[in-house]
Amino acid sequence: MPDLSPDAWIAIALSFKVAAVATLCGVPVSTVLALILARGRFPGKALFDGLIHLPLVLPPVVTGYALLLLLGRKGLIGAFLDQHFGIVFAFRWTGAVVAAVVMSLPIIVRAIRLSIEAVDTRLEQASGALGAGPFATFFLVTLPLSLPGILVGATLGFAKALGEFGATITFVSNIPGETRTIASAIYTASQSPEGDGEALLLSVIAACIGLTALVASEIIARWFRRASS
């Protein structure tokens, strides 16, 4: 079995960087969205819910293309960000982060939402009667009690971000050292005649990382279940 090439090591490191940043950005956003979905009552909630979950059912290439149209250099939002703030996502590793966030959002939101819905609203009521306003109640009661769901969501989201391929390659392409993640590297290797060994090795690594995340999230969930009973 061949050793990994330096490029492959760079791809692995980049993948971890992208997934870590995507999780750090995605979890707070997901928590707010999950709270709105779990506790909010407003017209169009089903549609809002559908929009968040859309990346789960769309072909990833469509999501990536949509990101390109919106956030590309000439895109609706992308052009504005570029001109006024000099922020560019297209063909940058930060763009890969955006793609990873959008793709992992449904999974994280779902896990956190279930957790928030499991919090007894009577405890929030009791908190209010003790003088805590909505924000204090959220941070002192709802959020800590939702922590298992947030950790599980973060773990699954991290794994999903690591494995993201379709949206990423469509939005930010496959530039070595900048946007070539594990998935893109496997794809590249599999396309070249002498890359079979490297593709296989990277695939095994990707599978190991994914499995580790799944087991970790299960252990976290079980640990909290035991701690709370």
The residue ranges that bind another protein (CB under 8 A) are 120, 122-123, 125-134, 136-137, 140-141, 144-145, 228-229
* 42, two tokens: 């407003």
* Nearest distance from C-beta of residue 69 to another protein, angstroms: 44
* Nearest distance from C-beta of residue 134 to another protein, angstroms: 8
Task: Output 127 or 170, the one with its CB closest to another protein.
Answer: 127
* Nearest distance from C-beta of residue 9 to another protein, angstroms: 42
Proportion of the chain in helix, strand, coil states, percent, rounded to 5: 80, 0, 20
Task: Output 48 or 224, the one with its CB closest to another protein.
Answer: 224
* Nearest distance from C-beta of residue 42 to another protein, angstroms: 18
Task: Output 127 or 181, the one with its CB closest to another protein.
Answer: 127
Cα angle for residues 75, 77, 82 (degrees, 5° grid) = 85
Question: Distance between CA 9 and CA 194 in Å, rounded?
Answer: 17
CA distances from 120 to 104, 116, 127, 145, 204 (A): 27, 9, 11, 9, 42
Task: Output 117 or 178, the one with its CB closest to another protein.
Answer: 117
Enclosing H/E stretch for 194: none
